[in-house]
Structure 1
Amino acid sequence: MKIFAAQLATETNTFAPCPTGWGGFQENGIFRGDASIRAPESVGYLMAELRRLARSDGNEIAEGLSAEAQPSGPVIREVYETLRDEIIAGVRAALPLDAVVLMLHGAMVAQNYDDCEGDLLACIREVVGPEVPIAATLDPHCHFTELMHSAANILIAYKEYPHTDAIERLREVYRLVTQAAEGKVAPVTAVHDCRMVGAWHTTSEPMAGFVRRMQSFEGRDGILSVSLGHGFPWGDVPEAGAKLWVIADGDPARAGTLANQLGNEFWEMRQAVRPKWYDMDHGLDAALAVGVGPVVLADVADNPGGGAPGDSTFILRRVIERCIPDVAVGCLWDLGAIQICADAGVGATLDLRIGGKCGVASGDPIDLRVTVRAVHDTHSQSLGGMSIPLGRSVWVEGPNGLDIVLVSVRTQVIGVDAFTGIGVAMDAKRLVIVKSTQHFHAEFAPRAKAVLHVAAPGALTPDFAKLPYRRRSLKYWPRVENPFG
């Protein structure tokens, strides 16, 4: 069996001030048929796993383009069209094919394209025809659109947030698409629009239990897969929002019944699954009340993983104003400060202006007397064996035991080695403040005395009822108490 595979992913914050251009993809590497070999521990880790799966079954992978960019504003049209057309050319060159597997995000928006994934899938369908099964993995923060639905046979979202199950979902996609290619299953999909906007962490109840419930239906009574697409709240496109879909074996009625049942169950849970986010001072008070550290605070509104700049200073300023000792903050994106510190050298003490560079949502810069403790030209962080570059990075120490990690590759904090890998003794800190929303949880929670989420000002406002949508319907919960009325 010959399977074409490609990867194209970014999560677009349509409210973000900075567009996603070539640089956003190039800093992670754009790989043309060799990501599984050249980058098996970063961009190509899913492609490498797909090759292992195919090899074990005696199947062939025709590997196409692999490219992903850190979330930011809409993708420049020429960039998206060029990457899309490369993938389509790869499909044509690989014909005849038995199946297509894509690794996508699901919330990629480009100039003039609200639904990049749907457009890409539809273009591939035109090339391979109606009989070749097309399958894709999706991030749960996807927009599940009608075009995606009609163009693909199998769409499966990661179930966990943080996304610790990407490999498992890829294996599921591979198993189902090969079975479909062999005629062993006939996947049909039904979708339920939950009409909800929010952020739902699967690391605590009742969301953890709902994930288990979805999985309990899979593999019996003709149900092949169940996915909950949380949606991406900061993507203002017409088909945004939470959706639950079910893939059944040749039985659309069965799929529809279960999709509606589980979608209604999720709706009934809406109050119980709302995450608890503190304002700044209440969050700091709650963290200090724990008494011992480290207590991890997530700066959710400045999460680069959602398209925020990663250079806001609001929480940092409050820590300094309140004279809270033994705090680590990271990772702030500040290229100028890094250059100044690197030029000064390790051990130098200087006055440094930090953060607040990218706009109103970043706050004002902070001026601190700091000592440069480390300069790392190729700093990185890791999660589950996957390496994520942070680029040239600096650790500076300010007053009162304040440690700040500055990075040149804008990305959310995921691994503890974002701190420890550059020398910060994270376990000795009272508070550790991370520029992240949830992906840090898997690595940090086991080492933390508590984990709290703080909604400071920033580019990712968590007030879902007041998001400034212009294009999507405003008939959703929590903006409307009953959007089904």
Structure 2
Amino acid sequence: MPNDHRRIFVAAMATETNTFSPIVIDRQAFEDSFYAAPGTHPDTATLCTAPIPVGRRVCAEKGWTLIEGTAAWADPAGLVSRKAHLSLRDEILDQLRAALPVDAVVLGLHGAMVAQGCVDPEGDLLARIREIVGPDVLVCAELDPHSHLTAQRVAAADFFVAFKEFPHTDFVERAHDLWAIVVDTLEGRVRPVMSTHDCRMIDVFPTSREPMRGFVDRMMAIEANDPKVLSLSAIHGFMAGDVPEMGTQMIAVTDGDAAHGAALAARLGQELFANRGRHMMPVLDAGAAVAAAMAADTGPVVIADMWDNPGGGTAGDATVVLAELMARGATGVAVGTIWDPIAVSLCRAAGEGAILPLRFGAKSAPLTGDPVDALVQVLAVSEVAAMIFGESLVPFGPAARVALLDAAGSPIGIEVILNTVRAQSYDPSLFRVMGIDPVAQRILVIKSTNHFHAAFAPIARQILYCSAGMPYPNDPAITPYRFVRPDIWPRVADPFAQVP
């Protein structure tokens, strides 16, 4: 075997935990969303598992050996069950032990996982990996920016690379960045050193608008022009995670210059803090959003039910916006989606074309509206419904498309997609796969905070962000946290004044 041959272990374990969500993630939830045994990951990337297919290509070009472990992703919800967490963790650790010796461990993580009895599963995994491989083996991971950058993780890993974009359109590009640093490190050209800065805040940072758009562009310009900088990442934080180290942080990875990285992370972090409260998009309540959509001359107008977002761990079954549309007599409406496995099963049993009284939605939690009782016609049923997200497919079926009818059995102009597998609304293909032409609608109602923007903006005449109810804890100033530290904005006006 040549001296420059390398052996690299790669695996992925990821989900995003809304600690306020009642929906427990068990092993089946990973199986339903995405699970690939070693060597079975598809060639296309799936969000947090992108380091695996990208690593295949890199190692094939270098003539290195890639040892693939398990790749698992569950759509965001509440706590991961202890059994699911330990089984996946130990599965990956056993695979790593069997792969030894290795020159590097490359992981796909989300960063906001919380399990029953373990507040930091990613930190726990990384610490155990470090214990197995020792201090000299490279350990790194790609992260979602909606994560918690804990001290345990920073101590265990050599470096992290996070997605820069929200919506997360760049997870494949960032996996390439991650692997580029791995290659340069193993071939002796760089020595990655990670520096961090705590911004002492929590906010929402859409990169589809200013000021975050310009901030990301500046990060990329620094990476391109500063030879000492290998990577810059803004960790947005995840406000629905009630954990002690929740909050926004900056990461700078430099070539052996920790002082330069620390200064750069602090400067960029201070810029984020200076713009606190200005990042998030303007929002309307349900009444104002529906009124504005109905007043528009042309469609489709997209109403984003931004806080009933399964991508943030909610059920996706809130009916507040739908009830407002029905009350105001809106027509030309398509809603995608409302999660209700029971309603889907009833529609599947009835079959396409059937007319039946149906109760659906608003079963998961308070502040999601009331269940809708309606006469409906089943227009379509799909056992394997899935939408596009980047290079991957996101399942949301079995699913049913129903038309709401009046008492005489005539359509009222509102159609709803009911789904079984929770998924946020990434792409207009979710409507097309169920037989709805999204461009032909006057109003599209979707469940997403901002991931929808890249795919829906090209077809939308107008996008309205709607804050309807509180299925998601969306105001950190009043959220009843138990574990989040008190010294972050907006829990306090000036957190830096609180700390010497």
Match of 1:346 in 2: 352
Deviations 1:29-56 (A, max 9, x none): 432212324x746576552222012111
Distance 1:344 1:23 in 2: 27
Match of 2:293 in 1: 287
> Is 1:105 the equivalent of 2:105?
no
Instruction: Write out aligned runs for 1:176-215 (5 A).
Output: 176-215=181-220
Aligned partner of 1:23 among 18, 24, 28: 28
Q: Give 1:213 deviation, angstroms.
A: 0.7
Q: Is the 8 A contact 1:36 1:45 kept in 2?
A: no
Q: Give 1:462 deviation, angstroms.
A: 2.2
Aligned partner of 2:473 among 450, 456, 461: 461
Aligned partner of 1:322 among 328, 343, 348: 328
Letter in 2 for 1:225: S
Letter in 1 for 2:340: D
Aligned partner of 1:278 among 284, 304, 313: 284
Distance 1:462 1:327 in 2: 26
> Is 1:440 the equivalent of 2:441?
no
Instruction: Write out aligned runs for 1:134-213 (5 A).
Output: 134-213=139-218
TM-score, structure 2 normalization: 0.94
Q: Is the 8 A contact 2:51 2:106 kept in 1?
A: no
Q: Give 1:383 deviation, angstroms.
A: 2.0
Q: Give 1:277 deviation, angstroms.
A: 1.5
* Cα RMSD for the two superposed structures: 1.4
SS in 2 for 1:124: helix
Q: Is the 8 A contact 1:226 1:246 kept in 2?
A: yes
> Is 1:478 the equivalent of 2:490?
yes
> Is 1:223 the equivalent of 2:229?
yes
Q: Give 1:182 deviation, angstroms.
A: 2.5
- Structure 1 vs Structure 2: percent identity of aligned residues? 42
Structure 2, unaligned runs of 5 or more? 1-5, 405-410
Letter in 1 for 2:361: G
Match of 2:95 in 1: 90
**Which segment is superposed worse, 474-483 or 386-395?**
474-483
Match of 1:54 in 2: 59
Letter in 2 for 1:416: P
**Which segment is superposed worse, 181-190 or 220-229?**
181-190
Distance 1:282 1:461 in 2: 21
Aligned partner of 2:418 among 384, 406, 410: 406
Deviations 1:10-69 (A, max 9, x none): 0000111121111211112432212324x7465765522220121112122100011110
TM-score, structure 1 normalization: 0.97
Match of 2:275 in 1: 269
Q: Is the 8 A contact 1:308 1:458 kept in 2?
A: no
Match of 1:2 in 2: 7
Q: Give 1:287 deviation, angstroms.
A: 2.4
Match of 2:407 in 1: none
Deviations 1:406-436 (A, max 9, x none): 1111111112111111101211111101011
Letter in 2 for 1:293: G
Q: Is the 8 A contact 2:50 2:175 kept in 1?
A: no
Match of 1:298 in 2: 304
Letter in 2 for 1:319: L
Deviations 1:268-287 (A, max 9, x none): 12233132121111122232
Distance 1:199 1:229 in 2: 11
**Which segment is superposed worse, 4-13 or 195-204?**
195-204
Distance 1:464 1:456 in 2: 16
Q: Give 1:376 deviation, angstroms.
A: 1.0
Distance 2:372 2:277 in 1: 38
Q: Is the 8 A contact 2:200 2:248 kept in 1?
A: yes
SS in 2 for 1:183: coil
Match of 1:131 in 2: 136
Distance 2:123 2:217 in 1: 29
Match of 1:429 in 2: 441
Distance 2:321 2:425 in 1: 16
Letter in 1 for 2:12: Q
Distance 2:317 2:39 in 1: 34
Match of 1:119 in 2: 124
Alignment size in residue pairs:
484
> Is 1:380 the equivalent of 2:392?
no
Aligned partner of 1:80 among 65, 77, 85: 85
Structure 1, unaligned runs of 5 or more? none
Q: Give 1:245 deviation, angstroms.
A: 1.2
